[in-house]
Amino acid sequence: MTGDARLDRETLQASLDGFEPVVTETDTHRAASVVLVVLGDGAGGSAIPLTMRPGTMRAHPAQFALPGGSVDAGETGVEAAVRELEEELGIRVAAEDVLGRMDDYVTRSGFVITPFVAWTDMDFDSVCPNPDEVEEVFAVSTDELSAVPRFIEIPESSKPVIQWPFREHLIHAPTGAIMHQFSQLALYGEHTRVDGFDQPVFAWK
């Protein structure tokens, strides 16, 4: 796996600086943060950790996810993202390592999820997943990040359901939508929005 200049810290920072994210007021929804962290190790290249949740978890068992969770009282979205990243994967970043944010995604289950983008020169082999929250962690390469998603029409919604392909799997929104938006922004400079992508019906509760 070789490094990609589009995912180095300075270039990624410039891409995020030129992006105006869609911000959604939480109102009756709960605020949550996730963090897409680029591991920019010079020897191993660029990789993005993507987790599989344990099948024993009460919420969203055995699903792909980015590190993240609810924003606690008195906590900012960035603080929640940094905290969750360390709790789930043992990756410690400072607030200044959070380079920016992408569009909020409003879930059918009542959350407004804010995706933050962070960068660190940490090696993927140093990632230490918390077994209580992470069943497995995958290193998403640049080639995998650039995968072309599928858009499926369903009778229950006027919006297509996004399916982002990863290895032998199809990942739905919100995670699939966030990965696709980041890919379009970081790799191609496209400001693709996520509010037009729905979740599958099984995720509506």
Mean pLDDT, each 10-residue run in order, the chain (205 residues): 80 97 89 95 74 71 88 96 97 96 95 97 93 94 95 96 97 97 97 96 83
The sign of the CA dihedral 2, 114, 55, 130 is positive
Four-CA torsion 10, 16, 19, 25, nearest 10 degrees: -160
Identify the CA nearest to 60 among candidates 172, 193, 144: 172
How high is the pLDDT of residue 45? 63
Q: What is the pLDDT of residue 56?
A: 64
Distance CA 133, CA 150 (A): 28
Distance CA 86, CA 124 (A): 14
Residue with tokens 């990624």: 12
- Please state the CATH superfamily assignment of the domain spanning residues 5-203 in this structure: Nucleoside Triphosphate Pyrophosphohydrolase (3.90.79.10)
Paired residues of 47 in beta bridges: 39
Domain spans of the chain, in order of start = 5-203
pLDDT for res 1: 43
Query: What global pTM score does this model have?
Result: 0.93
b/e burial code for range 149-164 (CB count within 10 A of at least 16 → b): beeeeeeeeeeebbbb
Element (H, E) at 50: strand 48-52
Nearest alpha-carbon partner for 108 in 29, 27, 192: 29
For residue 90, the model assigns a pLDDT of 97
